[in-house]
Amino acid sequence: MPVRPPVFRPRWHKGEDQRRREFDAKRGSARQRGYDTAWEKVRARHLVLHPTCCVPGCRTPTDRLNVDHIESVRESPERRLDPTNLRTLCQSHHSARTSRDHSWNRKI
């Protein structure tokens, strides 16, 4: 039975797990990125008022929802806790929007 040969990787090659750990270390904790007690209160209040994903037809369960800033905190830090700058998105729609905003999947 054929055996798959080992994959050669140079010593300096970083595996996916190591790259992820290094990124998380640079990124900082949620508190360091501005998700403090004030944010948790605003988020909880928003989810009570808007308990479903704002994308029409989405039926994601309530335990899988994110509160998204319409205008990014980087662009408008003064609107970080503004309830009119928030919307509820499920994890799938939030990831798609974040990817689009950060141009991770931009087609050239």
User: What pLDDT does residue 103 have?
Assistant: 65
Percent of the chain with pLDDT over 90: 43
pTM for the whole structure: 0.69
Q: Measure the CA–CA gap between 75 and 93, rounded to whole angstroms.
A: 21
Q: Measure the CA–CA gap between 57 and 92, rounded to whole angstroms.
A: 13
Q: What is the pLDDT of residues 34-66, one digit of tens each?
A: 788 999 999 999 999 999 999 999 988 888 899
Q: Within 10 A of 73 (CB to CB), how many other CB atoms are there?
A: 16
